[in-house]
Structure 1
Amino acid sequence: MQDWPYPLWIAHRGAGKLAPENTLAAFRVGASHGYRAFECDVKLSADGIPFLLHDATLQRTTPEQGTAGDRLWSELSRIDAGGWHGRAFAGEPLPSLETIAAYVLRNGFALNIEIKPTPGHEPETGRVVAREAARLWAESRAAPAAPPLLSSFSPEALQGAMESAPELPRALLLDTLWSGWFDTARTLGVAACVTHHELMDAALIAQLHGAGLRALVYTVNDPAEALRLQALGIDGIITDAVDRFSPGESVRD
């Protein structure tokens, strides 16, 4: 993408430290702090509905147990995904991708959808999430601020996304610079790479920019680290600290 339409600052999982992560409530909290771009994790229910959840299992962020992807959406949609965070959020549901898309589109926000497959369902999840994202943005009556950015740690999921909706931009997530990552990124036709912030340095940014790719990082919560990355010319910073970093200002010591 020659023109990069996404803001520098991106709220992680909505605003997943101040509110229950990957819920509509978290997005609203992030928006209340001035954020206009959000990251979230999306996987598939047993009947193929894309919905927001980070973990493969339910127990960390809901009262339920077991693999989320084994359940039908009619059951998942009734699970409390907010009470674990505090009584103020009790009853907050797991949102579908369609629900989150409606919120961001109506408000002119940008969305980074991390494709987070249930293990063993990587290509299918990539295909379905990309297809549904393309449909939701195409059918929106509002003019989108930007197309959804589809990211994943799974090359297989990104391959599925490329096959299903090649027009949507993709990003390869990296927690290490594993052997062959750069060739894989180019083969997948990604627009960006998103690394753990400690991996990103001047040489890596130069390599990515030299190949016409954007450089983004996760998850930056320390002002000194944000300053370092901004000085290097980073293109995107994913953060939990929406109450500490103002997305409309440069970071100060």
Structure 2
Amino acid sequence: MLTPAQLIGHRGAALLAPENTMAGIELAARLGLQWIEIDAQLSRDGVLVLMHDHELERTTDLTGTVREHDWATLAQADAGSWFGADYSGTRIPRLDAVIERCRALGLYMHIEIKPLDVHETDTAEAVADLLRSIALPEALVISSFSGDTVAAMHRLLPEHPRAQGAEHFPENWREISRSLELDAWHVDADIVTPELAPMLREAGLTVRAWTVNDRARAQQLIDWGVESVFTDDPPRLLR
């Protein structure tokens, strides 16, 4: 049987409330989750905000990219009407406000850093500066699909847990893991095999899988040794 500790609320609870919003985060807490995953991007004027897509059209009433707008504009965007009328007027949150809210709710966080370009590191630098300024939360994992971003976090916050995201598991994973001093890999659930998690665990690494909304598949992954799964619909997996 799956437990809340084995689930990570993906972008809050992305099938049940607008993703990467306070509403979704608060819902994840009410559902009894211990961990959520959120995405951090940098605005034109250097403010870290929650947003998955670089383009704003899918989840807000703005156009263009996050990086093309100042925080003052992003703060006024409607980030909920696309999901449903009940969420009309939901706002894009700042990362610093989300961290404080998660502390108040007792939620732990996976922060995925989403650079505009895989080789730029200014988003990682901004995240590191923010975490230093507010003191590191008790339980927080930093991840990215950009190796340069993970390397930057290794340099900027070497003591902090880091995970590398991967759609395809690289053959040179041992070299990457050593060079970045990784704690974990966050991988597409479709590439997980019965051998993958034990292999990583033997190397001192954790594996977490995304995005899993089927209870039987989630249980299979856990049975294979995956530590936890990212899910859009926690109640479906806990039912």
Q: TM-score range by the shorter chain?
A: over 0.9
Match of 2:237, SS state, is coil
8 A Cα contact 1:114 1:150, kept in partner: yes
Aligned to 2:161: 169
Gaps of 5+ in 2: none
Structure 1: give runs of 5+ residues left out of the alignment. Answer: 1-5, 139-143
How many residues are aligned here? 236
Work out whether residues 19 and 25 of structure 1, in 8 Å CA contact, stay in contact via their aligned partners in 2: yes
Which residue of structure 1 lines up, in the alignment, with residue 130 of structure 2?
A: 132
Partner of 1:210: 202
Per the TM alignment, residue 228 of structure 1 is displaced from its structure 2 partner at its CA by 0.8
Distance in 2 (CA, whole Å) between partners of 1:60 and 1:121 is: 25
| 1:184 matched to 2:189 | no
Match of 1:229 among 197, 218, 221: 221
> Bigger shift: 201-210 or 12-21?
201-210
After superposing the two structures, state which structure 1 stretch, 120-129 or 70-79, moved more.
120-129
Tell me the equivalent position of 1:238: 230
Asked if 1 retains the 8 angstrom alpha-carbon contact of 2:37 and 2:111, the reply is yes
Please say if residues 220 and 226 of structure 1, whose CA atoms lie closer than 8 Å, have aligned partners that are also in contact. yes
**Structure 2: how far apart are the matches of 1:236 and 1:131?**
28
Pairwise CA distance, 1:130: 2.6
Q: Could you say which residue in structure 2 is the equivalent of 1:53?
A: 51
SS in 2 for 1:245: helix
The whole-number CA distance in structure 2 between the counterparts of 1:177 and 1:210 is 16
- Indicate conservation of the 8 Å contact 2:198/2:225, yes or no: no
- The aligned amino acid for 1:157 is T
- Pairwise CA distance, 1:119: 2.3
Hey, what does 1:67 align to over in structure 2? 65
Residues 48-83 of structure 1: CA distance to partner in whole angstroms, max 9, x if unpaired?
Answer: 111100011110101111111121112111111111
Q: In structure 1, which of residues 87, 90, 106 is the aligned counterpart of residue 88 of structure 2?
A: 90
- The CA RMSD measured in Å over matched residues stands at 1.7
Amino acid aligned to 1:95? P
Separation in 2, partners of 1:63, 1:213: 41
- Corresponding position of 1:157: 149
Amino acid at match of 1:24: M
CA distance in 1, matches of 2:232, 2:53: 17
1:11 touches 1:38 (CA, 8 Å); kept in 2? yes
Does structure 2 conserve the Cα–Cα contact (< 8 Å) formed by 1:122 and 1:154?
Answer: no
Deviation at 1:46, TM superposition (A): 1.1
1:29, distance to aligned residue in structure 2 (A)? 1.4
Q: TM-score, normalised by structure 1?
A: 0.88
* Aligned partner letter, 2:59: T
8 Å CA contact retained: 2:15, 2:232: yes
Q: 1:39 aligns with which of 37, 40, 43?
A: 37
> Secondary structure at the residue paired with 2:55?
coil
Report the CA distance shift for 1:181/1:47 in structure 2 as closer, same or farther (over 3 A). farther
Deviation at 1:115, TM superposition (A): 0.5
Q: Give the corresponding residue for 1:3.
A: none
TM-score by length of 2: 0.93
SS at match of 1:54: coil
Q: Following TM superposition, by how much is the alpha carbon of 1:194 offset from its aligned partner in structure 2, in angstroms?
A: 0.8
Q: Which SS does the other structure have where 1:84 is aligned?
A: coil
